[in-house]
Amino acid sequence: MSSFLFSASFNMLIPELPSYLTSLGGAEYKGLIIALFTLTAGISRPFSGKLTDTIGRVPVMAIGSLVCFFCGFLYPVLTTVAGFLLLRLFHGFSTGFKPTATAAYVADLIPVKRWGEAMGIHGLFFSTGMAIGPAIGSWITSHFSINVLFYCSSVFALLSIAILMNMKETLRDKQRFHPSHLKINRKDIIDTRALPAAIITFLSYISYGAILTVVSDWSLHLGVTNKGLFYMVFTIASLLIRFLAGKVSDRHGRIIVLKVSLSLLIMALLAIGFAKSAVGLLAASSLYGVSTGMLSPTVSAWTVDLGHPEQRGKAMATMYIALEAGIGLGALLAGWLFIHDLKMIPITLYICAGITSLALIYMQINFPKNKQTRQSY
């Protein structure tokens, strides 16, 4: 429930931010809306991973929600283009902290043979926030104002923190915070055991950064008046498959599920680019939701499989660094290719489909068979 509220808090802003930035006079910086957010999220991952493994899972989750809480109140204050972009940079710390600690927390609670199922259930709630947030955000903005939307985002984040206060810490050897915990060396940044999962995450999430940047304009062009509807359709589709995909990956292995999900993701990106109507776009978004609904819990469980039990925070941070880098690069790519020219949106999506194909090729070369990937210690 905490993840649901946290997810809704920052996702409800996404459909409205491109037009809001345009109203401030910064239309040419649309690609930075997501890119700056993911930049600080990625930079903070090594810190959040180390803190998750030292001071505890719950405090690190709380830090992420607190950032969302404060940002909601600052958006109406910083009303220049520079101020807005600076705030997006700060806002990224939220997803740099909370998901890393949450994934480690879930892995602590759940038996090893049910990690895929557990990640699917957690993803179910996080994705519900992704589905409800944008639709609510567009509705609030159209009926009230963008500032009311920002304040509502803060309220959701505050409720997320309230739930965390009643959660029991799962880290057994919890330490008091000390400034030395913020000292990061090379060994703290990347868990090399989790690199295969990180590579797949990076290549597959480039498309997500591009979609976040262009889908609002593409939806309006094809006749979808509620800019949050695309997010709702693809997230609802992902909800229906996440739980099942997680259980299948527990029983039959992560590799086969990843290969199928990557194949579906490629088809979905091509379908979104080929869409000629609102119905076609929403149908393609449902396929996109199925593919990401299969991919997300499986790659999270695979990361836990590959990492060391005492360094789950670092393993998850490695995967999330790749995720943020992929989203940020995708947003920059889309922002560079598309500013106002709608004809460039399909080309952007086709390029993303090609990049996702590289992930599938990597899996086929390095994991030709659905062999066991879970480490033993």
Helix (H, G, I), strand (E, B) or coil at 276: coil
Give per-residue pLDDT as tens, 229-256. Answer: 887 788 788 877 877 887 788 888 889 9
Q: Which residue has the higher pLDDT, 27 or 78?
A: 78
- Is 262 inside a domain boundary? yes
Percent of the chain exceeding pLDDT 70 equals 95
**pLDDT at res. 238:** 82
CATH number reported for the structural domain that contains residue 228 in this entry: 1.20.1250.20
Q: Is the pLDDT of residue 224 over 80?
A: yes
> Residue 223 phi/psi, 5° resolution?
100, 15
| pLDDT tops 90 at residue 360 | yes
167 or 375: which leads in pLDDT: 167
Of 76, 100, 96, 99, nearest to 87 by C-alpha is 76
pLDDT band, very low/low/confident/very high, at 377 (cuts 50, 70, 90): very low
Helix (H, G, I), strand (E, B) or coil at 367: coil
- What is the residue type of 35? A
Identify the domain containing residue 275 by its residue range. 2-167+189-366
Taking the C-alpha atoms of residue 130 and residue 193, their distance in angstroms, rounded to an integer, is 30
Query: Is 64 part of any domain?
Result: yes
User: Is the residue at 179 inside a domain?
Assistant: no
Q: What is the pLDDT of residues 286-343, one digit of tens each?
A: 999 999 989 988 888 888 888 776 677 778 878 888 988 898 888 888 877 765 677 8
pLDDT of 167 above 50: yes
Q: Tell me the three-class secondary structure of 135-158, residue by residue.
A: HHHHHHHHHCCHHHHHHHHHHHHH
Asked if the structure places residue 373 within a domain, the reply is no
Beta-carbon contacts of residue 288 (< 8 Å; ≥ 6 apart): 211, 234, 237, 265, 268, 269, 271, 272
Q: What is the pTM of this model?
A: 0.72
Residue 237 within a domain: yes
- 79 falls within a domain: yes
Query: Which region among 30-34, 37-41, 138-142 has the lowest average model confidence (pLDDT)?
Result: 30-34
Give domain status of residue 181, yes or no.
no
Would you say residue 314 lies in a domain? yes
Structural domains in the chain (count): 1
| Backbone φ/ψ region at 185: left (φ over 0), alpha (ψ -120 to 50), beta | beta
Count of residues making up the chain: 377
> Tell me, what's the pLDDT at 197?
92
How confident is the model at residue 263, as a pLDDT? 96
